[in-house]
């Protein structure tokens, strides 16, 4: 495993095949921030770095990286109206 390039980009299907899970499972991990991924061109396509996959699996130490910023929900109950 030491010969694997940590910067190699994998598709969701490649990750799913390697881990023997469904594509939907990998997408759920991405959506719930369990597996970091990059979105291609603003679409639905993702790429996962081999190093991030290895870190999630516990094969390498976690890099020191700041957490992903979330968009805050700024509306209050008074601003939301139901019709």
Domain CATH number, residue 41: 1.10.10
Spatial separation of the C-alpha atoms in residues 46 and 36, rounded to whole Å: 10
Per-residue pLDDT of the chain (83 residues; tens, 9 = 90+): 456 788 899 999 999 999 999 999 999 999 888 899 988 877 789 999 998 998 888 877 665 566 666 666 666 666 666 66
pLDDT at 25 (0 to 100): 94
Residue 28's domain comprises: 9-56
CA-based nearest residue to 31, from 74, 80, 70, 76? 70
DSSP 11-32: EHHHHHHHHT--HHHHHHHHHT
Residue 63 lies in a domain: no
Residue 72 lies in a domain: no
pLDDT at 40 (0 to 100): 85
Residue 19 lies in a domain: yes
Spatial separation of the C-alpha atoms in residues 34 and 15, rounded to whole Å: 13
Question: What total number of domains does the chain contain?
Answer: 1
């Amino acid at each position: 495993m030491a010969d694997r390039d940590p910067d190699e980009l994998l598709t969701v299907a490649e990750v799913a095949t390697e881990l023997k899970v469904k594509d939907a499972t990998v997408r759920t991990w991405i959506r719930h921030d369990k597996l970091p991924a990059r979105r291609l061109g603003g679409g639905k396509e993702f790429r996962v770095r081999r190093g991030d996959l290895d870190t999630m699996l516990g094969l390498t130490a976690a890099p020191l990286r700041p957490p992903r910023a979330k968009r805050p929900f700024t509306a209050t109950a008074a601003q939301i109206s139901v019709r």
